[in-house]
Structure 1
């Protein structure tokens, strides 16, 4: 890999999903060749924690996080703060979630989603690890709960795969939180979303794939993978009016600041 290749981080992917079965080594190798130096693979159901942990244990560039996805909140046992704290003792466990609210597909379970979200926030507080938020069609409740809980005790947070409205973006930024750009921000029709990002400080921006979903152009409609972070990062650089190298350096520094445990691991390696 040329030394001039900007090094970036895929802050959110799902490497345990069956889409990657049998070729995980190749997927991670392609990411490295593209300049994706690290990635965080997300466990969305706590019963799968062992298999997600194993991926991080086997692959040096991979870190992990775990929580109950809001769309699964009604199907899974409620997580406990103690369960999440126990997972957080693993040296490569770097975040709490993803958790959040999704009223697009699962509005009927919004009460249990909100209860689950508050449990995850408490675990983020107690561990000092960042909360990883999924938000869809729930802007008002999400902004309210994040602010209520922050007043009860500070915590850090990233709005993963951010594609909500400007109001929720500002509410998150006002609390000191981060916004993460996914392939959605690179879609040609996402002009309004790019404007929301452009209005945010560059030092609060992360980049991700959410793979295997949401592949950015030129791979839209195909399986996404961490190597494709570079395509979203290219659009991110254009959005903020900076060079690709500057955008890569800024988002990597932001990742290290928020996901401090991954940064500490890298320093010790």
Structure 2
């Protein structure tokens, strides 16, 4: 054994570190068996994979997925919108009659903005660039702490009250807000029961034919912000709907809506 062998006992077992494949491993992508075995036994590569995981999460790009809603949902949405237009306001002191809960409804196009499917990944060299940029920005940010800039005020474009569908009880509100050139949907609700599943936020189109999944609502997080596009509002995606969904690998709307409201532009 040479002195170099004594200093580097792992060198014969790991002659080459698969640097170009570490980003794929961090992202959970499939790699060759030799690379997988190498990373599993190489302390250096394992550490680099763990360091890359936060960067991978930052550069993921969600892939929109078209899904179909359950039968009957759109009939219920259209009926509710028509009923809102035709229903006179109740006299002062008199409670309004609760509207019947909607039944699930007809086929329509659904665009899922926030999806659980694997996201597209940029090339591995982007990960290194993003990590380096984070270090530079972090260093600059320390100096900037001495000169805090005033936080910009959001501009509210539209808002609505989120009511239960059975008793018309107000359980929260939603607003379309523009801040720093970005358009977001702010959702603030009282505690909603997700049951054995989870809560999902949707934008339903007033034409009764289309819907967009905006994202997953955490029950105990208070106000939550979801990125949307101005084109959605322009095209009539104004009905904010929060539904109870099950962990069943079915991306379409379950038909079990808890609260709903129409954004008033």
- The TM-score range, normalised by the shorter chain, is under 0.3
Using structure 1 for the length normalisation, give the TM-score: 0.24
Greater share of helix: 1
From the CA coordinates, give the structure whose radius of gyration is larger. 2
Greater share of strand: 2
